Amino acid sequence: MRNHKTAFQNASYTFLLLFIVTTAASQATTSFHYSVMVLVRSVGLAALTVILVLYLLKASQTLRVSRQVFALGIVYSFLLFWGLGFSLFTGGFSFFVEDRNLPVFLAISVVYGFALLALLTGFQKQEGATSNVISPLLLYFFTSFLTMVAAGGVSPGFPPRIMFGQVNDVAISYSQGFSGFYAMGGVFLYSLANDATRGVSLFFFTSSVVFFSLSMLGGARGDFLAGIIALAFFVLRNPRFQNIVVIGGAALLALVYVFQSGIWEDIVVFKRLLVLADGNFGQRDILADQAISLLREQPVCLALGCGFNFFQSYWGFEYGLYPHNAFLEAVVTFGLPVGGGLVLLSLLGLAISFLGWGARNPVFYLLLVQYLTMLKSGSLLGFTSLPLLVVFAMFGFDWLIRRPGLPVENHFRQTASPALGNDHSS
């Protein structure tokens, strides 16, 4: 049992460092704030490197790995061999040569996958105290918020405005990284408020409202909506009439005030949401249609896949114009049998986790925001898309193999409340 707890602690620290490394710079506002968060990212990356070196040294001495880690290694090896191998023949590999950051992103995502599997397996089997990861995450969210305010990231006017910098002398009006980070923080804090004592609950609830407001002011509609949807899933899984009335009433009053007062015209996210009625999806609908057209025109891609970055190579795009939907990109990259199977198993694993260990777990809903976000802007070479697909697919596959036909509720035990101070680490 002690070995399991140690493994869970190591996974918690590794996940936390990876979360810092992958979100620190993307949430930045002003140039000073960006320089501070880049420093934070560098420190996190250095600490992560030390931990990984120590882990590899220990593993080389004991020559022991868990069954889950071994299985994930096999899955990753297969997918990387498949995706990189086909990209060598279809032209997609040239992007790795032209942009040296892509191999780094892919390597970080692989490490993220191993840490995520160990962490979520620990949650499922209740092998360690959830405060090992929740308390540091809570500290990181609040420290990031205070740093952003101190760096002048929010204007003092009404409505407040996020002070993003400029690119080529053009002011940045919204930030996906900023909105996504505070959406994750919002649902994370609300899930903690659900089970805390009254005074602590009020603090977490108020903080959640502040974080969701910042996510909205960040202007990225998809990332903000991902947080709202994740929050709705939490409320659905943990229904409390009082909370539903408070949230629904406050949201309704806020919307009425925003539109009647006319201040919605000063809030970027509302203007970007309204243009959806005109069919403006930020080219994502066009990219999705082109991905489907590619599969029609290239049957080999549908059957076997065409490797990483083939979509951009086929249409003559730069790397940034990937399909912006991890599901579609998985099919283009790995083919319908492998990519489609990965997607279906991943959805099954996500559903099982939602009904089981993740029902009241704040980390699950943080990951749910990332999962929803990858459906509108995810790339398989990003930090989180491939790990989320693979790890939840392994949960789905494990359930199919171990308990076919059994109700999900009987397969997983309901975890104890993960709120701070309510852990059961025995």
Cβ partners under 8 Å of residue 6, min gap 6: none
The H or E element that residue 171 is part of is: strand 170-171
Q: Sort 20 into a burial class: Cβ within 10 Å, 0-12 / 13-18 / 19+.
A: buried
Residues 38-90 pLDDT 10s = 999 999 999 988 888 887 777 666 656 678 888 888 999 999 999 999 999 99
Question: What average pLDDT does the segment 206-225 reach?
Answer: 88
Amino acid at residue number 211: F
Give the span between the Cα atoms of 263 and 121, in whole angstroms.
Answer: 46
Give the span between the Cα atoms of 352 and 406, in whole angstroms.
Answer: 12
**Residue 162 confidence (pLDDT):** 84
Helix, strand, coil percent content, the chain, rounded in steps of 5: 75, 0, 25
Length of the chain: 426
Confidence of residue 363 (pLDDT cuts 50, 70, 90): very high
List of E strands, 183-304: none
Residues 368-423 pLDDT 10s = 999 999 998 889 999 999 999 999 999 999 898 886 544 444 433 333 344 444 44
**Residue 70 confidence (pLDDT):** 84
**Residue 421 confidence (pLDDT):** 42
**Residue 300 confidence (pLDDT):** 93
Amino acid at residue number 393: A
Does residue 199 or residue 88 have the better pLDDT? Answer: 88
Cβ partners under 8 Å of residue 131, min gap 6: 418, 420, 421, 423
Give the span between the Cα atoms of 326 and 330, in whole angstroms.
Answer: 6
Residues 123-162 pLDDT 10s = 887 755 577 789 999 999 999 999 999 999 888 877 788 8
Cβ partners under 8 Å of residue 296, min gap 6: 302
For the ranges 126-135, 163-172, 289-298, which has the lowest average pLDDT? 163-172
Does residue 243 or residue 120 have the better pLDDT? Answer: 120
Mean pLDDT of the chain: 84
Give the span between the Cα atoms of 316 and 37, in whole angstroms.
Answer: 34
**Residue 174 confidence (pLDDT):** 80
Question: What average pLDDT does the segment 13-35 reach?
Answer: 91
Tokens in use for 368? 């749910």
- Cβ atoms 159, 267 nearer than 8 A: yes
The distance of Cα 164 from the centroid of its chain, to the nearest Å, equals 22
Residues 243-269 pLDDT 10s = 677 677 767 776 676 666 666 666 666
The SS3 of residue 95 is helix
List the beta bridge partners of residue 33: none
Cβ burial 285-307 (10 Å sphere, 16+ → b, else e) = eebbebbeebbeeeeebbebbbb
The H or E element that residue 167 is part of is: strand 166-167
